[in-house]
Structure formats: C-alpha cells, structure tokens
Amino acid sequence: MSSSTLNRGFLQTSVGKKTVIAVTGLLLLGFVVAHMLGNLQIFLGQDQINAYAKTLQDLGAILWVARISLLIAFVAHITMAIKVTLENKAARPVPYAVNKVHKASLASRIMPYTGIVILLFVIYHLMHFTFATIDPSFKTLYDSQNRHDVYNMVINGFRDPVSSVLYIIAQACLALPIGHLTHGTFSMLQTLGVNHPNIDARVKLISMSVALVIFLGNSSIPVAVLLGVIK
C-alpha cells in the first residue's frame, strides 16, 4: 500500500481530521500573533508602521508563498472542522435522555458558531484593508516617502464606529473566554499530545491567557482610534 493511500486513509479517520485541525490551527495561531505584533506598531507612529508594511511588500514572492500557505491552512482547518462537526452530530442523532450538555464548556459548544463569525470577519477584513473594495480611497494613500500609508488607512477605517464595533465583536469571538481560541488552543495542544491531568489546568490557563492578550492587543487599535489616542 502506497504512503499516499495511507495518508488518505488517515485523513478519513477522526484522529486524522483532528490532527489536521490542530496543525493548521497552530499555524493560524502563529499568524494571528505575528499579525497582531505587526499591527501594534501603529502605536510607534506613522513612519514605523509604514516601514513595516513596506518591508513586507518588498518580500515579493516570499510574501505570496506565505499567503497561499495560510490560505491552504485556513481552508483545510475549516473543511476538517465542518466534517468533524457533522460526523459528531450524525454519530448521535438522538439526544441523551438526560441532558449532559453542562459537561461541555460554553466555548466548546459554540465553537462552530464563533468559527462562522470569524470566517465572515476575515472576508470583510480582507475587503476592507487588503483589497480596499469597501473604501477604494485606501489605495491612493501614500506618505511623504511614497510608501503605502497604512497608518492613515487604519485610522480612516476605524473612524467608522460600525467598522470598529464589528472588529471588536470578531475579536471577542476569536479570543475572549468564550471565543474560538480559548477552547481551540487547549484542544489543539491535547490533540498534539500536550495533555496530562497534572498539567491540564496550566494548559487551560495558558490558552486563556494567550487568547486574552490577543483580544486586548487587537481591540486596542480601533479603541485607540475612536478615542483619538491615534490620530
């Protein structure tokens, strides 16, 4: 039997699907953290954030390889998550005689729904800032050094309270205690073998801490714009 056949067989199993979800989740978590750290440079001023954006653009083909890899990971993550959710529902079509839903955390129960919100937000976010289809004027913003003026693009984008509120809601779905990352990070580490009764509590604490830092870091930007801290 060829290795490709074995791989396909593995991906058909529940363990295989959950492994794909965990590995792609780890990659996406790394991107979220890196993206947040890059965006937080806006607090260092216009020159800093615009220079950072220019450095990324100058990567050329490397940047596109990273983008395509992230897209593949994102699609694989969503696809396998949907399959696992549907399989779990199909495996138990009749509810328990006694409701045991209280044994599952709120974050785990609403994972599919927070995932949908995040997916919709990613599409909106790309249309808003990356492709500038929502506000085409973003494409014409350049600073004194003829670099794309990301600094003023972000300010103009978050001056709209609706956009800022949508962004913060998406971050809550991503990273608050009931968010996707809180339960997702813990489940991901368990799937990858980082689980033991003696460390589970600490792993949960780390997962919640990482999620909270991401929520506060990402949400601080629209809040700072609305409050006039960044202007």
Contacts of 189 (CB under 8 A, 6+ apart): 22, 195, 203, 207
At 97, the amino acid letter reads: A
Banded model confidence at residue 72, pLDDT cuts 50, 70, 90: very high
Residues 129-179: pLDDT tens digits?
888 898 899 999 999 999 999 999 999 999 999 999 999 988 888 876 566
Residues 173-203: pLDDT tens digits?
887 656 677 666 767 777 777 666 777 778 7
Contacts of 177 (CB under 8 A, 6+ apart): 107, 208, 211, 212
Contacts of 84 (CB under 8 A, 6+ apart): 14, 17, 18, 21
Banded model confidence at residue 98, pLDDT cuts 50, 70, 90: very low
Q: Do residues 186 and 111 make contact, with C-beta atoms less than 8 angstroms apart?
A: no
CB-based contacts of 9-13 (< 8 A; 24+ apart in sequence): none
Residue of 69, 40, 39, 192 whose CA lies nearest to 129: 39
Q: How far apart are CA 190 and CA 180, in angstroms?
A: 15
The dihedrals phi and psi of 148, each to the nearest 5 degrees, come to -60, 125
DSSP of 106-165, one letter per residue? HHHHTHHHHHHHHHHHHHHHIIIIIS--S-GGGGG-B-TTS-B-HHHHHHHHHTSHHHHH
pLDDT at 47: 96
DSSP 8-state code for residue 40? G
- Residue 31 pLDDT greater than 60, yes or no: yes
Residue 40 class from Cβ within 10 Å (0-12 exposed, 13-18 middle, 19+ buried)? Answer: middle
Higher pLDDT, 49 or 5: 49
CB 175: neighbour CB atoms within 10 A?
29
Mean pLDDT of 98-126: 70
* Max avg pLDDT among 67-76, 79-88, 193-202: 67-76
The dihedrals phi and psi of 93, each to the nearest 5 degrees, come to -65, -25
Structure tokens at 49: 């954030």
Q: Across the chain, what does the average pLDDT equal?
A: 82
Q: pTM of the predicted model, to two decimals?
A: 0.80
